[in-house]
Amino acid sequence: MNPRPAQSPQPHQPQRSTAPAPVAAPDPYFPNSGDPRYRVHRYELALDYRPGPNRLGGTARLSAVAVTALAEFALDLAEFRIGRVLVDGKAARYTHRAGKLRIRPAKALAAGAAFTVEVHYTGNPRPVRSPWGGLGWEELTDGALVASQPVGAPSWFPCNDRPADKATYQIAVTTPSPYTVVVGGRLLTRTTRASSTTWVYEQAAPTSTYLVTVSIGQYRPVALAERPAVPQTGFVPERLTGPFAADFGRQPAMMACFEEAFGPYPFGEYAVVVADEELDVPVEAQGVATFGTNHLGGGWERERLVAHELAHQWFGNSVSVADWSHIWLNEGLAKYAEWLWSERSGGPSAAARAADAHRLLAGLPQDLRLGDPGRKLMFDDRLYQRGGLTVHALRRALGDAAFFRMLRDWAGFHRHGVVDTADFTAHAAGYASAPLDGLFEAWLWRPELPPLPV
């Protein structure tokens, strides 16, 4: 399917290969997260959440395959009280320390064996601490939300916390009936018993653990677009439905713009939650984006965030990074999507936006290597700006026709897949009439800012 050209050597990545390895390496930025010796293909979570006491209890059932023979394996899970752990229905021994649930099945697993794990757990979920603040499950004044990027998922469910280990999900959440529960995917059933309601969602598309989300709050649904377009619904505090409709009124047009530029929207629906609090930044999840009340109010600085989060559905969520060192692929393409929306909606051109970003970067320290920024700089604003500029440089080098074919094919060939930077540079080379090695060397691997491409 993929007419991938012969790969040109990547001067700074001699160890990388696009051939599937039997056992993936640990994440270079988060070596303690995940266990590459097995893969999960499905999670079934049945959770009960009480917002007042912030109490979460539940059962997680994982269907997995051993990549290598396993006498023991590890799941990532923050501090919870563990009730039972079963492997293939039989009680298993385990230890639970420092965010790792290490499980020793009664019988060792053979390489290639399919197995199930069931974990019963209860506790008071709280965010995982990180240099970027709390990650994962966050209690709100009235409800809760989840924003896990990059390693917050273990704050609320046991998982193999690697972006490359994508799985399907069924998530059932029981909570007091006044609350609305939003999870990415299709709502299968909603059942009320006594004063509680159970919401069951199915996420059929392969999903990275950090992109699994739950929002619980007193929200009112606002339809932005219905079939035959991609259904788009806002979940918004009652008093903010007016401002929301004004600010997100252009989102269906953005959806159409991005479908034209990147190909069909990769999921069945798109939900936008406006949590009833101020949030530092909006966050993307699979088929969902979460904003704060401070992200309403109009103007380009807010509108660009709506475009950015929507673009992540293609870049990051559908086409996902193999490990966190490749994060520029998510953020550079989402940043460029902001500029593309500006250009196509009658605002300043992408070239003008790129010139602004270049001016900004020229006045800042130039010590960031975009293709491997290191954990400390992975969410640095310079990575976003330079990522957008790199995509812009590529557009200049390829010309519009080849550039947009390249972009659409990238999203199409790798739909619901996992990629790295070498995949992208090799893919782009297939659309160029001259070698791109110099361009990628300058933009991805050298810290100095190259001149603005004109």
List residues binding Zn ion (CB under 5 A). 331, 334
Residue where the block lists tokens 């909570």: 175
- Around Cβ 142, how many Cβ atoms within 10 Å? 16
Can you give the three-state secondary structure of 316-340, one letter per residue? CCCEEECCHHHCHHHHHHHHHHHHH
- Longest CA–CA span in the chain (Å) reads 68
In the bound state with Zn ion, the residue whose beta carbon lies nearer, of 200 and 311, is 311
Q: Cα 257 to the chain's mean position, in Å?
A: 21
Least distance CB 398 / Zn ion (angstroms)? 24
- How many whole angstroms separate alpha carbon 381 and alpha carbon 357? 10
Nearer to Zn ion, 85 or 146 (CB): 146
**What is the distance between the alpha carbons of residues 68 and 108, in angstroms, rounded to a whole number?**
11
Cβ closer to Zn ion: 174 or 325?
A: 325
Find the shortest distance in angstroms from Cβ 330 to Zn ion.
6
Q: Which is nearer to Zn ion, 202 or 331 (CB)?
A: 331
Tokens representing residue 49 in the block:
């959440």
Is 76 or 331 the residue whose CB approaches Zn ion more closely? 331
Task: Find where tokens 């090799």 sit.
Answer: 426
Q: Which helix (H) or strand (E) holds 197?
A: strand 196-207
**Are the C-beta atoms of 372 and 14 separated by less than 8 Å?**
no
- Cβ-contact 305, 295 below 8 angstroms: yes
Determine the 3-state secondary structure of 417 from DSSP.
Answer: coil
* Shortest reach from residue 312's CB to Zn ion, in Å: 6
Residue 101 has φ and ψ, to the nearest 5°, of: -100, 105
d(CA 287, CA 116): 26
Q: In the 8-state DSSP scheme, what is residue 297? A: S
Residue placing its CB nearer to Zn ion in the complex, 255 or 327:
327
Closest distance of CB 441 from Zn ion, Å: 25
Residue with smaller CB distance to Zn ion, 30 or 179: 30
Q: Are 425 and 326 in contact (CB under 8 A)?
A: no
Least Å from the CB of residue 227 to Zn ion: 28
Q: Considering beta carbons, is residue 43 or 341 the nearer one to Zn ion?
A: 341
What is each CA distance from 436 to 6, 301, 372, 414, in whole angstroms?
13, 33, 18, 21
Residue 112 C-alpha from the chain's centroid? 28
CB of 184 to Zn ion, least distance (A): 16
Shortest reach from residue 18's CB to Zn ion, in Å = 25
Q: Say how far apart CA 355 and CA 346 lie, in whole Å.
A: 17
* Helical (H) or strand (E) element with 406: helix 400-413
Q: Which residue is nearest to Zn ion (CB)?
A: 334
User: Minimum Å distance from CB 436 to Zn ion?
Assistant: 24
Nearest CB to Zn ion, comparing residues 96 and 304: 304
Nearer to Zn ion, 109 or 310 (CB): 310
Would you tell me how many other CB atoms lie within 10 Å of the CB of residue 287?
26
Among candidate residues 4, 393, 320, 279, the one with its CA nearest the CA of residue 163: 320
> In the numeric block, which tokens belong to residue 177?
């009936």
Q: For the CB of residue 96, give the shortest distance to Zn ion in the complex, in Å.
A: 33
Q: How far is the CB of 308 from Zn ion (least distance, A)?
A: 6
Query: Do residues 379 and 132 lie in contact, with contact meaning Cβ atoms separated by under 8 Å?
Result: yes
- If the CB atoms of residues 105 and 184 are measured against Zn ion, the closer one turns out to be 184
In the bound complex, what is the minimum distance in angstroms from residue 20's beta carbon to Zn ion? 28
